[in-house]
Amino acid sequence: MMKRILVTGGAGFIGSHLCEELSKDAHNRVYSLDNYSTGSVKNHVQGVNYIDGCTKDISIHVNFKPDVVFHLGEYSRVEQSFCDIDKVWESNAVSILPVLEFVRKSGAKLVYAGSSTKFGDGGLGRNQSPYAFTKASNTDLIKSYSDWYELNYAIVYFYNAYGDREIALGQYATLVAKFMEQSKQGKALTVVQPGIQRRNFTHVKDIVSGLIKVGDKGRGDGYGIGSQESYSVLEIAKLFNQDIEWLSERKGNRMSSAIDTSKTEALGWKATHSIISYIESFNQQLYSAGILTI
């Protein structure tokens, strides 16, 4: 039977890869709801139906009953969230109730992209930034909502996604993509002090494969989707063989993060990509182009 799948944020980095993978199955009819605040039409995938709109208006924009809703379409930057608290609140805190009401009334399964920031620094991370606070609060609300209304849901937690279609420029640039762009331009890599903050860098294809597993079989909270290998930001920067420019320490920048992927692995998922190999391949391209020299 045909399955209707809605991906909020489907024109974004992770969302576009998820739409692309889901659309490969002829039994899936894939839809994206995105307001293009950070998403792009350049990320559109053939065969996916794109709806331009905000998640707070999901019941207005989506006039069908999906089988699954992957809710990725929320504000997702830690440090920048201090400057964008109005956007964070609108995108995350305000919009979650309309999404929950939509999935409750439609009978769809909700797969919610939580934030691993809430596990950072021994659990203190959940209150270290407006972003982390709203994301952690949303996971609490979803679990309570399920108790109240028997919602079918699963909550996943990503760990530092990297890969094709990352945002490389501007205030919403992600770390690996920013380092790659600075390397291509021959610039020093900007590293926020102290540099020892550790991250579990996870390829977007591993995240997508985990999302699909959870969408098919997952139920409840606690589905970590991340690589077990962790590296400090400085260790990653040094792999690019460029000079380092230090930036002042910033609020909300957690030093460590606990990771638990056992529930996702129990569904048959495993991370298969390496950030080291990814950067080595990128460096080789720069050597071949004469941008880097040995």
Please, what are the domains in the chain? 3-288 (3.40.50.720)
Which residues lie closer than 8 Å to 291 by C-beta, 6 or more apart? 183, 184, 186
Q: What is the spatial distance between Cα 239 and Cα 214, in angstroms, rounded to a whole number?
A: 33
Q: What is the spatial distance between Cα 292 and Cα 294, in angstroms, rounded to a whole number?
A: 7
Average pLDDT, the chain: 95
DSSP 8-state class, residue 14: H
Q: What is the spatial distance between Cα 109 and Cα 145, in angstroms, rounded to a whole number?
A: 13
Q: pLDDT for 93-145, tens place per residue?
A: 999 999 999 999 999 999 999 999 888 777 778 899 999 999 999 999 999 99
Mean pLDDT, rounded, for 29-44: 97
Q: Identify the CA nearest to 222 among candidates 267, 262, 256.
A: 262
pLDDT over 90 at 157, yes or no: yes
Query: Which pair of structure tokens corresponds to residue 92?
Result: 């995350």
The lowest-confidence range among 18-27, 43-52, 167-176 is: 167-176
Q: pLDDT for 251-287, tens place per residue?
A: 877 777 779 999 999 999 999 999 999 999 999 999 9
Query: Which pair of structure tokens corresponds to residue 286?
Result: 């720069």
Provide the CB-side half-sphere exposure for 155 (13 A, CA).
Answer: 19
pTM of the predicted model as reported, rounded to 2 decimal places: 0.95
Give pLDDT, residue 131: 95
Query: Which pair of structure tokens corresponds to residue 118?
Result: 């809430």
The dihedrals phi and psi of 293, each to the nearest 5 degrees, come to -125, 145
Q: Which residue has the higher pLDDT, 164 or 253?
A: 164
Q: What is the spatial distance between Cα 287 and Cα 281, in angstroms, rounded to a whole number?
A: 10
Give pLDDT, residue 223: 98
Proportion of the chain in helix, strand, coil states, percent, rounded to 5: 40, 20, 40
What single string gives the DSSP state of each residue in 149-217? H---EEEEEE--EESTT---SSTT--HHHHHHHHHHTTPPEEEETT---EE--EEHHHHHHHHHHHHHH
Whats the size of the chain, residue-wise? 294
Q: pLDDT for 192-235, tens place per residue?
A: 999 999 999 999 999 999 999 999 999 999 999 999 999 999 99
Q: What is the spatial distance between Cα 89 and Cα 169, in angstroms, rounded to a whole number?
A: 24
Query: Which pair of structure tokens corresponds to residue 64?
Result: 């069908």
With residue 112 as reference, give the H or E element that holds it.
strand 109-115
Give pLDDT, residue 294: 61
